[in-house]
Structure 1
Amino acid sequence: SEQEGVYEYLLNERLAYHGAPQIGKGVGIVGKTIIRHGSERLKKEFLPKILRGEIQFAIGYSEPNAGSDAAAMELRATRDGDGWRLNGQKIFTTSAHFADWYWVGARTDPDAPKHHGITLFLLPMDTPGLEIHPMPTIGDEITNQVFFEDVYVSDEYRVGELNKGFQYISEALDLERFTMFTFSPIEQRMEELLEYVKTAKRDGKPLREDPIVRQRIAQLVTELEVARVLGLRFVAASMKGGKPPTVEASEYKLYATELSKRLANATLDIAGPGAQLRVHTKEAPMRGRPERTYRYTVIDTIGGGTSEVQKNIIARRKLGLPRNF
């Protein structure tokens, strides 16, 4: 309903602002897709556990040869009795090292065009033949390579119709681009920078009196309001029902994550060399947050579809320009 959509938005933003666990993949992505496309069996098995917060999910789309172009995935799923055998590899699967279930796309019809012939499955992360290799990132988090060797999954754990997985993945990515990249942490970092500018000094002079700093802060605050409005546009479009609004999701994700990166760069410039000190360093301004944020915000422009992918979606779906990949 409309009220539920607004409630979810407000709840997720406040949770993010205070550093609490957010709605996450279960409710925000997997649960909604199961409601729209899953069998009654999947709904009965997963939805109550998702609502109780009993299970964690990893999302498996990206592969070594299928990053920005998820439709190029090559993980093979071949029929084996009442189920499927999966062989291949996924990469950049965040949460795989602690998740309970894997939400994974695989190619079930290798002869079909690349945007067809893909099917979505759910399988336990402890399934025999599944091997997880952690990969540390520059953002102090762990992502993973996942290898499949004759991994069996029952057809009962197929999500939706055979060979229509890319349609469901596209819808899920629209949800991810909004749910996983909340506005509130950017707003909070802006507040921290503004407070720093109001109280800090450089060469004995108040930083707030520097005209270059004042202009840069004013520009960032204006851009922050643009990001806020783009998020509200996504919420408004979602309230109309039907599929998640693709263009609005891409516009928000593109602008918010690039703004987050610009804010991180500006914070280092304004705070000076001390902003390179890490968290828990006594002398670090803003509790050392700028250094980690500078590294982490780069990742946000990649996860859920790179900024270049978002521009392609906007060009094609909103402006009617031809596909270029």
Structure 2
Amino acid sequence: MNFAFAPEEEAFLEDFRGFLAKEKCRPDADIIFAPWRETDSWLVDSPERRAFMKRLAEAGYIGMSWDKEFGGREMPGVYDYLLNEQLSSDGAPIIGKGVGCIGKTLIAHGNEALKRRFLPQILAADIEFALGYSEPSAGSDLASLRLRAERDGDEWVLNGQKMWTTSAHFADWYWVAARTDTEVPKHKGISVFIVPMDHPGLTVREIKTMGDHRTNEVFFDNVRVPAEFLVGEENAGWRYVCEALDYERFSLYTVGPLLLKFEALVELAKLVHSNGIPLSKDPVVRDQIAGFAIEVEMATMLQRRVIAKASKGEVPTVEAAMYKFYSTALGRRIANFGMDCLGPLGLLSHEAPGAPFEGRWELSDRATVVDTIGGGSSEVQKNIVARRGLGLVTDA
């Protein structure tokens, strides 16, 4: 199978690289382009990064695959992927939740009031969203969520808790899945709401991870939202959540950061010496790096299968699970081997004087553990492959 991109897609990518080259000359470029932040480099979590997204919007890169009726350009979804591939390769924030799962769900199911209010703001990069799915007892099994939403006249009242909401401390709006019916099968009693993050009934508390990544738990205490902030139909939220995840297949499964990590390992082997000889000359190290080169190519092919299937209008659930599991595990192994190459000094963090490579390998070794959990743990991905790809029954 030929996974090469078409000439017009390559031309688009070349033009976009020219746009980024100018951005890298700005005085705040070191904040915008920060691959050392690992997965956090995707976040629009600073004024500089928000301004960068505004410039992307002004240049027409936001909402390219939307219908023209809603301000888009009706370009194939692969262009959203190419955009995010380049952004993630440069350590810049990516287009994601607002344009993909939220914007396209609103286009498909939102009422006219929600479309008029939010779609223009999303296209202009004026607002950021947080996703409220996981809960203390509903992580991998999202249908078990308990956050309750009850109708009270022209409002909905939400009470409960969400966990692992990465963007809650800087987002403007909360895209929340809540239980609206407890008398039906659990998949059928879920609805989706949009809630302002500055609502007085919301409390956001930081959760620190071992990879210096901040996520949050969010508490709802009689959070009242107007009835028009219900997305689509009541109790149809499970379908919307699943569709929203499908919208992201094109854009979130980029391979650029993994390639960067491998290239950094190659450079490390050239610069670090043992007994006066570069590690790149050590046959054992060379053999290991050659193995990683093969695995990176395998990961790239798995990622291209995600894009290839999505390009046909199919849902690459199994392909995406395979790539997510394989690529995050590979990133973890590369980071760990980088630490091995550095020896005891590799344990020094970026705050320690004399830390090799400014402690970025030590951070990567911790952050890649988080990557294997966020977005669906490796165990969840293996279950998806076993059930949907191989037809195996994994229940006891």
- Using the size of structure 1 for normalisation, the TM-score is 0.92
How far apart, CA to CA, are the structure 1 residues paired with 2:250 and 2:370?
A: 15
* Aligned length in residues: 324
Match of 1:302 in 2: 373
Q: 1:288 aligns with which of 359, 362, 383?
A: 359
Query: Deviation digits for residues 250-299 of structure 1, max 9, x if unmatched?
Result: 12211111111111111111222222222365633333211111111111
Q: 1:129 aligns with which of 191, 197, 201?
A: 201
Alignment of 1:72-221 (within 5 A): 72-175=144-247, 179-180=251-252, 182-221=254-293
Q: SS at 1:24's partner residue? A: coil
Query: Deviation digits for residues 182-223 of structure 1, max 9, x if unmatched?
Result: 321111111111012123211222212222211211111111
Larger deviation: 52-61 or 170-179? Answer: 170-179
Match of 1:28 in 2: 100
Deviation at 1:74, TM superposition (A): 0.6
Match of 1:18 in 2: 90
Deviation at 1:233, TM superposition (A): 1.4
Residues 1:245 and 2:306 are matched in the alignment: no
How far apart, CA to CA, are the structure 2 residues paired with 1:27 and 1:162?
A: 23
Deviation at 1:146, TM superposition (A): 0.7
Asked if the contact 1:264–1:290 (Cα under 8 Å) also holds between the matched residues in 2, the reply is yes
Q: Which runs of 5+ in 2 are unaligned?
A: 1-64, 66-73
Residues 1:59 and 2:135 are matched in the alignment: no
Q: SS at 1:84's partner residue? A: strand
Asked if the contact 1:58–1:96 (Cα under 8 Å) also holds between the matched residues in 2, the reply is yes
Quote the sequence identity (%): 55
How far apart, CA to CA, are the structure 1 residues paired with 2:167 and 2:391?
A: 36
Deviation at 1:246, TM superposition (A): 1.7
Residues 1:318 and 2:384 are matched in the alignment: no
Instruction: Specify whether residues 182 and 194 from structure 1 end up closer, same or farther in structure 2 by C-alpha distance, changes over 3 A only.
Output: same
Asked if the contact 1:178–1:253 (Cα under 8 Å) also holds between the matched residues in 2, the reply is no
Deviation at 1:175, TM superposition (A): 4.8
Deviation at 1:318, TM superposition (A): 1.7
How far apart, CA to CA, are the structure 1 residues paired with 2:241 and 2:113?
A: 20
Alignment of 1:215-230 (within 5 A): 215-230=287-302
State the AA in 2 paired with 1:313.
I
Deviation at 1:6, TM superposition (A): 2.2
Q: SS at 1:94's partner residue? A: coil
Deviation at 1:176, TM superposition (A): 5.1
Q: SS at 2:362's partner residue? A: helix
How far apart, CA to CA, are the structure 1 residues paired with 2:91 and 2:338?
A: 20
Instruction: Specify whether residues 16 and 240 from structure 1 end up closer, same or farther in structure 2 by C-alpha distance, changes over 3 A only.
Output: same
Q: 1:45 aligns with which of 117, 135, 159?
A: 117
Asked if the contact 2:81–2:250 (Cα under 8 Å) also holds between the matched residues in 1, the reply is no
Asked if the contact 1:74–1:88 (Cα under 8 Å) also holds between the matched residues in 2, the reply is yes
State the AA in 2 paired with 1:101.
W
Residues 1:255 and 2:293 are matched in the alignment: no
Larger deviation: 279-288 or 25-34? Answer: 279-288
How far apart, CA to CA, are the structure 2 residues paired with 1:4 and 1:215?
A: 41
Q: Which runs of 5+ in 1 are unaligned?
A: none
Larger deviation: 297-306 or 174-183? Answer: 174-183
- Which has the bigger relative contact order, CA under 8 A and spacing at least 6? 1
State the AA in 2 paired with 1:109.
D
Instruction: Specify whether residues 173 and 143 from structure 1 end up closer, same or farther in structure 2 by C-alpha distance, changes over 3 A only.
Output: same
Instruction: Specify whether residues 76 and 85 from structure 1 end up closer, same or farther in structure 2 by C-alpha distance, changes over 3 A only.
Output: same
State the AA in 2 paired with 1:191.
E
How far apart, CA to CA, are the structure 1 residues paired with 2:245 and 2:361?
A: 28
- Using the size of structure 2 for normalisation, the TM-score is 0.76
Larger deviation: 156-165 or 290-299? Answer: 156-165
How far apart, CA to CA, are the structure 2 residues paired with 1:178 and 1:162?
A: 28
Instruction: Specify whether residues 266 and 295 from structure 1 end up closer, same or farther in structure 2 by C-alpha distance, changes over 3 A only.
Output: same
How far apart, CA to CA, are the structure 1 residues paired with 2:340 and 2:258?
A: 17
